[in-house]
Amino acid sequence: MKFTALKALGTSAVIALVSTSSAWATECIAPANPGGGWDFTCRQVGKLLYDLKQVDAPVQVTNMAGAGGGLAYNHVVTERNTDADLLVAASSATTTRLAQKAFGDATADQVRFVGAIGADPGVIVVAKDSPFQTLGDMVDAIKADPGSVAFAGGSAAGGFDHMKPLQVLKAAGFTDIGKVKYIGVDGGADAITQTVGGFTQAMTGDMSEIVGFIQSGEVRALAVLSEDRVPGFDDIPTAREQGFDVVAVNWRGFYVPKGISDDEFSAWATKIQAVADSAEWKEAMAANGLAPFTKVGGDFQSWVDQVVADTEALSKEIGVIQ
């Protein structure tokens, strides 16, 4: 769907959603229906912004599902470009879709990425009775026969879940990544079901998606793709520990309209840092399987720019984009 088409769709679709926003000083748009990661980010961080007195009134959360986040992105760019009281929840899915032109002609520089406040670490998971005991076992099997291991993930082909095992394989020196099988299904739970049922040999997803399955013993995690082991799941080794220099985390954070001033941008960075530093947010991360991952202000914007460039290059290599 082209960005121009999103504009036509967005004008009528968002009127009812935002018509009452004047009752709140700050609005956070979650570009999806209630219950997902973007919704969690808006609601949890929004509550803490108010509890920690970073904002003067409770934060209004607006769910604006559509086009995988593209509807909200278009709304901000075309209608809210100078709104300094607006935050929009974002994640690695946002930058992946921008890199792959999933929002039509939209580009990452049409907003300002202001802060990441935690991360859902990527994981590679197998069924409890899988013959693979380590990440190295799996990599060796794929090198020997690229079609012998199929991955299931909750994103479409070329999406963030698809990218995770490909990054591991590239780190292992495997170059024929186009032969690696990937099945995109509707969410992490469905991906685990595919793997537990023997339809795929592995699941690629996020830590928050596997917590219950790990605790029930239905699956084993071969690796977590974070810089360090995740508190509470200390028995799961990182990919780096096993010789594969890959960090792939689904960061949770925000972007703001591009047209706000530098001072307003810096003020939001300061507020997000205050939440990240709070004991309340640390408790929320532990309860939801999130790992510490804080980048705010200009440092985060520069990091995002590099991630978009890297994702675009890998997407071209596997043929997702030209």
Short-list 71, 225, 239, 93, CA closest to 154: 93
pLDDT at 12 over 80: no
- What are the tens digits of pLDDT across the range 287-310? 887 888 999 999 999 999 999 998
Alpha helices for the chain (secondary structure H): 3-13, 15-18, 37-51, 70-79, 92-99, 135-144, 160-171, 188-196, 207-216, 262-276, 279-287, 297-317
| pLDDT for position 37 | 81
- The whole-angstrom separation of Cα 224 and Cα 249 is 9
Q: Which residues pair with 174 in a beta bridge?
A: none
Report angle CA 77, 78, 82 to the nearest 5 degrees.
65
| pLDDT for position 4 | 44
Q: pTM here?
A: 0.78
How confident is the model over 106-123, as a mean pLDDT?
96
| pLDDT for position 244 | 98
| pLDDT for position 235 | 95
- The whole-angstrom separation of Cα 2 and Cα 171 is 34
The string over 259-288, giving b where at least 16 C-beta atoms fall within 10 Å of a residue's C-beta and e elsewhere, is bbeeebbeebbebbbbbbeeeebeebbeeb
Q: How confident is the model at residue 187 (pLDDT cuts 50, 70, 90)?
A: confident
| pLDDT for position 20 | 38
| pLDDT for position 24 | 56
- What are the tens digits of pLDDT across the range 19-77? 334 445 899 999 988 877 889 899 999 999 999 999 999 999 999 999 889 999 999 99
Please, what are the domains in the chain?
Answer: 3-119+250-317 (3.40.190.150), 121-242 (3.40.190.10)
Output 233 or 17, whichever has higher pLDDT. 233
Round the CA-based radius of gyration of the chain to a whole number and report it: 20
